[in-house]
Structure 1
Amino acid sequence: MNKFWLALIGLVLSYGVSAANYAEGTEFIKIEKAVQNAPRVVEFFSFYCPHCYQFESIYHVSQTVAKNLPKDIKMERYHVDFLGPLGAELTKAWTVAMVLKVEDKVSPLLFERIQKTESINTPPDIKGVFIKAGVKSEQYDAALNSFVVKSLVLKQQQAVEEFQLRRVPAIFVNGKYMIRNNGITIEDVNNYAKAYSDVVNFLISK
């Protein structure tokens, strides 16, 4: 059991509860002002955030939530600018990954090189990760400077403002519910991702 991670998210280790017992203020909160036209499920994260690194790479919450969603719903993942010296550049790079559909290849590499080896210090370092993931240099440059990437970057930045986001990782459902990362009740820490996913699916239909 990773005590460091438990300290960060404050997991509640207890007997599991049924969906009927999910309660506002425990597993989730209802935000004061609902965000119109938001994705049904959206996660905000940063490659500079150690919580986000463990959220994805150790406990696989992001992957589990996405995999267990109803077939007609896709989870969007938005990067935030407000952490780290290259926060804005990483948002652009993440958007390139979205457009080129290489998120699964790029995300682990970016997390590892920022969280573990601390080897990303310049925009060319970021580009190098894409090249290692199999993206050609000219393909990366073309996407980075494309209208669609610029539009999606703006969309992510606007969403951060609309949700009045101050910390990550954060997952919102239906534009009005936020999962409380430290409110998920579990018996075994290894079941955290599945329990988290169950709360998301409960809120989708709420």
Structure 2
Amino acid sequence: MMNRWFSRAAAAVLLGFSMAAGAAGLTFTEGQGYTRLPVPQRVSPAGKIVVTEFFWYDCPHCAEFEPMLERWARAQPSRVVLERVPVAFEPRFAPQQRLYYALKALGKVDALQDSIFRAIHEQHIKLETPEQMATWLQTQGVPKPQFMNAYNSFGVQMQARRATQMMNDYHIDGVPTLAVQGTYIASADLPQTPSMDLVLQSVNSLIRKVWSAS
């Protein structure tokens, strides 16, 4: 799992985003720009095209990708919905899963998602335990008791378990990875998409594919 993750990192460093200029003529095909899940997964809400990002807060490549993903999401029509799913490849990842869902329950994800990545990767603030998270979130205007109540709630625990189940159902073994409509997987591991800019181009083509078939 982690070897694959680091190989993806190496590809991104070597090729960067400079390939975007020459990507306009690319045709993405199965095995070249995306893969297809053996068992399609159900998505919601109905009537929308759902793009799912699998991510991990401590992942430097997820942090680098975040601003690009935000710009991409803002440019999408209302029919396209972005869903984020925090992964837990190991037990130590689980607190950050619950961090995400606690903030989502408090309505704070949109305001703090980028700030969390910057705190970890630019300011080198450790956000690995509930106590560390609560202490930092107080500086961001989230009262510690409010966060801890959400973090320890049954609903957040259930959402974290669901996220891990989704990670397994989608066969995710590296991040960042994007899924389209519970059917297609796009990542920087594939030959034709060695950068996240190209991954998003593949995702755009898959959205058009799903849209035209609906």
Cα distance in 2, alignment partners of residues 50 and 203 from structure 1: 31
| CA deviation profile, 1:141-199 (whole Å, cap 9, x unmatched) | 2211223212211221110111121100000001110113363499xx9x768735633
**Counterpart contact for 1:65–1:193, Cα < 8 Å:** no
Deviation, 1:49, is 0.9
- The residue aligned with 1:70 is 77
1:53 matched to 2:60: no
5 Å-filtered alignment, 1:1-206, equals 6-7=12-13, 13=19, 15-17=22-24, 21-37=27-43, 40-56=50-66, 60-82=67-89, 86-120=92-126, 121-181=128-188, 183-184=192-193, 195=201, 198-205=204-211, 206=213
Q: Which runs of 5+ in 1 are unaligned?
A: none
Structure 1 residue 25: Cα displacement: 2.2
Q: How many residues align?
A: 196
Structure 1 runs, 4 residues or longer, greater than 6 Å off: none
Helix, strand or coil for the counterpart of 1:74?
Answer: strand
Deviations along 1:119-139, one digit per CA (max 9) or x if unpaired, are 215321111232222111221
Cα displacement (A) at 1:8: 6.2
- Secondary structure of 2:22 counterpart: coil
Contact 1:37 1:175 (8 Å CA) reproduced: yes
Question: Once structures 1 and 2 are overlaid, which stretch shifts more, 89-98 or 105-114?
Answer: 105-114
- Aligned-residue Cα RMSD (Å) equals 3.2
Amino acid of the structure 1 residue aligned with 2:186: I
TM-score, with normalisation over the residues of structure 2?
0.75
**Paired residue type of 2:74:** K
CA distance in 2, matches of 1:157, 1:198: 26
Instruction: Give SS of 2:79's match.
Output: coil
Identity of aligned residues (%): 22
Report how far residue 11 of structure 1 moved.
5.2
Q: Whole-Å Cα distance in 1 between the matches of residues 121 and 194 of structure 2?
A: 28
Residue 84 of structure 2 aligns to a residue whose secondary structure is strand
Paired with 2:99 and 2:14, the residues of 1 have a C-alpha distance of: 27
**Structure 2: 5+ residue stretches without partners:** 1-9
Report the TM-score, using the length of structure 1 for normalisation.
0.78
Report if the CA contact (8 A) 1:110-1:126 is conserved: no
1-structure distance, mates of 2:108, 2:88? 20
